[in-house]
Amino acid sequence: MKKKYFFLIFSFLIFFFLGFNVDKAEAAMHSWQKFPKAGSTCEVRAWTDYLTYTKSANTIDFYLESKGNCGKLDYSAYGVVYYEGANDVTPLVTGYFSYKTPVKKAKLRTINVRPIPGGLLATLTKNGKFVGLYETKNLNFPNR
């Protein structure tokens, strides 16, 4: 009888600690995308702090990084939701990088639509010329 209770309690604790942690971070490294206008082997990807943002989230934390022969890239990035077209949910964050940006914080604006999918968009330029648009498509935002 004691073994049965021990097994039941042990199973519950395992389930609780391994599978029931609802507050865990879901930071995500997004896929590499090619930008041949920046260099023949140039690829860029983004990291974001979450895939699904909660109502209490105040920012989208992200960085961009490159590999290959990209050189110095300028970027203008912002969060976007897709509801009756693309709508920005953060102010524009700008800068440049040759390998990797520091972690940037884009402040989330109020979103007055249902929980909705979105992404991070980054317009990339090199020497003042457009080389492409990096886009993550799998971020989710709640009503705020």
Give the pLDDT score at 25.
Answer: 53
In a domain, 34, yes or no: yes
Q: What is the tally of structural domains in the chain?
A: 1
In a domain, 14, yes or no: no
CB burial string 23-39: b at 16+ within 10 A, e below:
eeeeebebeebebeebb
Give the pLDDT score at 19.
Answer: 44
CATH number at residue 61: 2.60.40.2550
Q: How far apart are the first and last CA of the chain?
A: 51
In a domain, 20, yes or no: no
Task: Please check whether residue 34 is in contact with residue 7, taking contact to mean a CB–CB distance below 8 angstroms.
Answer: no
Name the pTM for this structure: 0.78
Q: Which domain holds residue 121?
A: 25-141
In a domain, 19, yes or no: no
Give the pLDDT score at 12.
Answer: 44
Give the pLDDT score at 7.
Answer: 45
DSSP assignments along 14-68, one per residue: HHHHHH--TT----EEPPPEE-TTT-TT-EEEEEES-SB--TT--EEEEEEEEES
Residue ranges in the chain whose pLDDT is less than 70: 1-25, 113-115, 144
pLDDT tens digits along 81-114: 887 777 888 999 999 999 999 999 999 987 776 6
In a domain, 17, yes or no: no
In a domain, 18, yes or no: no
Helix (H, G, I), strand (E, B) or coil at 85: coil
Give the pLDDT score at 137.
Answer: 83
In a domain, 93, yes or no: yes
- Extract the tokens encoding 18: 């391994």
